[in-house]
Amino acid sequence: MPSLPTVPSAQSAPLDVLGVPGEINLDYAASAPCARAAADAVAELLPWYASVHRGAGALSRRCTLAYEQARQTIGDFFGARADDHVIFTRNTTDALNLLARAVPAGTTVVTFAGEHHANLLPWPRGSVRLPVPSDPAGAVRDLAAALTELRRGSSPALPVLVAVTGASNVTGERWPVAELARVAHRHGARIVLDAAQLAPHAPVDLLTLDVDYLAVSGHKLYAPFGAGVLIGRADWLDAAPPYLAGGGATSHVGPATHDVTWATGPARHEGGTPNLLGAVALAAVCKALDEADQGALAAHEQALLARLRGGLAALPHVVELRTFDPDAPRVGIVSFVVAGWDSTEVATRLAAEHHIGVRDGLFCAHPLARRLLSEAAGRTGRRDLPPTALRASIGLGSTAAEVDRLLAALAELG
Ligand code: PMP
């Protein structure tokens, strides 16, 4: 196995991540680099690679054990309750689609228009989409009003599910999850947290936040692609049709077409041979993060974020996108536009001339991104802002030198 390089410039960062020397990844929000802990866990297991839950051999038994231990570690990391299911999925999109198929018939799902498409599009017809609020308190007020209205108009027996993000993938702004959960529960609703962007930046604990379900992507959490989880209340999940019908999802199959008894527990929704290496890699990252000094991780990211935002604010031709007050709590994500410049052109130049990777576009959150772009034009009075944006995002492998390289490159465009 060739030795995998740590990015030399990232040696001062609090998490050891892999990378290619000379290439700067400021696109953690899309996919974070792989943590060395994840790569090591995969390398250790590779010689043992064999089927999970399907074989009697020693290799197979070790892989089955590793898979189930990964489930336990990840569940513990996210504060799963004793009776929650921890279901492996491909990513957050997959997890939210699974839940969308598992909600009981007649469920109304309530979301905000500021969500990522993964938390807007899977929900059934009749879902309620609340406008983007102008501050976190407004989100709580709007949700309370909507749930009151909904309860007035519908049978209290019909379930309601609130679906919210922990942190916006466009602005990095954090949402008041615990307060939203309190409001949801006060109205007899359940709540699912899209933690795709929050989990890589802050501890996310189901119990503390008191959310019913949580969805996460491994590839944004320093693990490789292809492993995510849905964690949450067992009753809806055990009563729902299997998300993936097939081997492993059944406890009995008879000769007649419909003679099948589906498994309960996570297996019901994990049909087919599972992604063992993804699960083990994700668990290794959870363990590494759990053992790290949380204060130091947060301080590192917040210092870099302040440097990035401060540097951008000092560039007169750069305009930041935001929903809330500039001082609202955020994770390490900033979207912005460069006046007079097409965003794709800027991203292409950053890559070609400076070896810096950022994202451009509308970030799979079209309603929010379009609204923020038009607000930015209104706020600044500038008529030369482009119709799409740029996004720089940092994480535990990022360094001040990388942020400074971006700022210097953007300064040249003024
Ligand atoms: N929710 C949010 C807030 C996201 O940022 C993303 C990914 N950009 C997703 C959901 C979907 O994640 P994935 O593509 O890993 O399914």
CATH assignment at residue 247: 3.40.640.10
Helix axes 400-411, 294-313, angle to 10 degrees: 10
Render the burial of 4-39: b for 16+ CB within 10 Å, e for the rest: eebbebbeebbbbbbbeeeebbbbbbbbbbbbbbbb
Total tally of structural domains belonging to the chain: 2
How far does the centroid of ligand 1 lie from the alpha carbon of residue 114, in Å? 13
Q: Does residue 275 belong to any structural domain of this protein?
A: yes
Edge-first strand listing for the sheet containing 359-361:
318-320, 333-338, 389-393, 359-361
How far does the centroid of ligand 1 lie from the alpha carbon of residue 29, in Å? 8
Q: Which residues share a beta bridge with 232?
A: 85, 213
pLDDT at 405 over 50: yes
At residue 7, the pLDDT reads 47
pLDDT at 135 over 70: yes
333 and 253 belong to one structural domain:
no
The Cα 275–Cα 78 span in angstroms is 20
Render the burial of 67-80: b for 16+ CB within 10 Å, e for the rest: beebbebbbebbbb
Rounded alpha-carbon distances, angstroms, from residue 162 to 72, 120, 177 = 26, 11, 11
At residue 8, the pLDDT reads 42
Q: How confident is the model at residue 10 (pLDDT cuts 50, 70, 90)?
A: very low
State CA 236 to chain mean position distance.
22
Instruction: Judge whether 364 counts as a catalytic residue.
Output: yes
152 and 270 belong to one structural domain:
yes
17 and 46 belong to one structural domain:
no
34, 63, 286, 364: the catalytic one is: 364
Least confident of 60-69, 149-158, 242-251: 149-158
Ligand 1: does its nearest atom lie under 6 Å from the Cβ of 111? no
Higher pLDDT, 38 or 11: 38
Q: Does residue 121 belong to any structural domain of this protein?
A: yes
Q: Does residue 85 belong to any structural domain of this protein?
A: yes
Last residue of a domain, one of 225, 259, 291: 291
21 and 140 belong to one structural domain:
no
Ligand 1: does its nearest atom lie under 6 Å from the Cβ of 323? no
106 and 225 belong to one structural domain:
yes
280 and 331 belong to one structural domain:
no
How far does the centroid of ligand 1 lie from the alpha carbon of residue 48, in Å? 31
201 and 254 belong to one structural domain:
yes
Q: Does residue 206 belong to any structural domain of this protein?
A: yes
Last residue of a domain, one of 291, 309, 344: 291
What is the mean predicted confidence (pLDDT) over 165-169? 98
Ligand 1: does its nearest atom lie under 6 Å from the Cβ of 335? no
How far does the centroid of ligand 1 lie from the alpha carbon of residue 261, in Å? 33
Burial (CB < 10 A; 0-12, 13-18, 19+), residue 193, is: buried
**Number of the ligand 1 atom closest to the C-alpha atom of 168:** 3
Mutate to test the pocket of ligand 1, among 217, 333, 391 (most ligand atoms within 8 A of CB): 217
**Per-residue pLDDT tens for 87-114?**
999 999 999 999 999 999 999 999 999 9
Ligand 1: does its nearest atom lie under 6 Å from the Cβ of 300? no
Q: Does residue 3 belong to any structural domain of this protein?
A: no
Q: How confident is the model at residue 258 (pLDDT cuts 50, 70, 90)?
A: confident
**Per-residue pLDDT tens for 180-189?**
999 999 999 9
Phi, psi of 303 (to 5 degrees): -65, -45
284 and 311 belong to one structural domain:
no
The Cα 366–Cα 387 span in angstroms is 11
The per-residue pLDDT of the chain, averaged, comes to: 94
At residue 4, the pLDDT reads 54
pLDDT at 2 over 60: no
Ligand 1: does its nearest atom lie under 6 Å from the Cβ of 89? no
Ligand 1: does its nearest atom lie under 6 Å from the Cβ of 92? yes
The count of residues in the chain is 414
Is pTM beyond 0.90? Reply is yes
Ligand 1: does its nearest atom lie under 6 Å from the Cβ of 399? no
At residue 12, the pLDDT reads 62
The Cα 137–Cα 331 span in angstroms is 18
Q: Does residue 34 belong to any structural domain of this protein?
A: no
Question: Tokens 């299997």 appear where?
Answer: 242
Ligand 1: does its nearest atom lie under 6 Å from the Cβ of 97? no
Mutate to test the pocket of ligand 1, among 197, 198, 214 (most ligand atoms within 8 A of CB): 197
**Number of the ligand 1 atom closest to the C-alpha atom of 165:** 3
Ligand 1: does its nearest atom lie under 6 Å from the Cβ of 119? yes
Mutate to test the pocket of ligand 1, among 31, 88, 92 (most ligand atoms within 8 A of CB): 92
50 and 196 belong to one structural domain:
yes
Q: Does residue 33 belong to any structural domain of this protein?
A: no
Q: Does residue 303 belong to any structural domain of this protein?
A: yes
128 and 269 belong to one structural domain:
yes
280 and 323 belong to one structural domain:
no
How far does the centroid of ligand 1 lie from the alpha carbon of residue 88, in Å? 16
21 and 60 belong to one structural domain:
no
How far does the centroid of ligand 1 lie from the alpha carbon of residue 93, in Å? 6
The Cα 234–Cα 83 span in angstroms is 7
CATH code of the domain containing 402: 3.90.1150.10
The parent domain of residue 315 ranges over 8-26+293-411
Q: How confident is the model at residue 9 (pLDDT cuts 50, 70, 90)?
A: very low
Last residue of a domain, one of 232, 265, 291: 291
Ligand 1: does its nearest atom lie under 6 Å from the Cβ of 196? yes
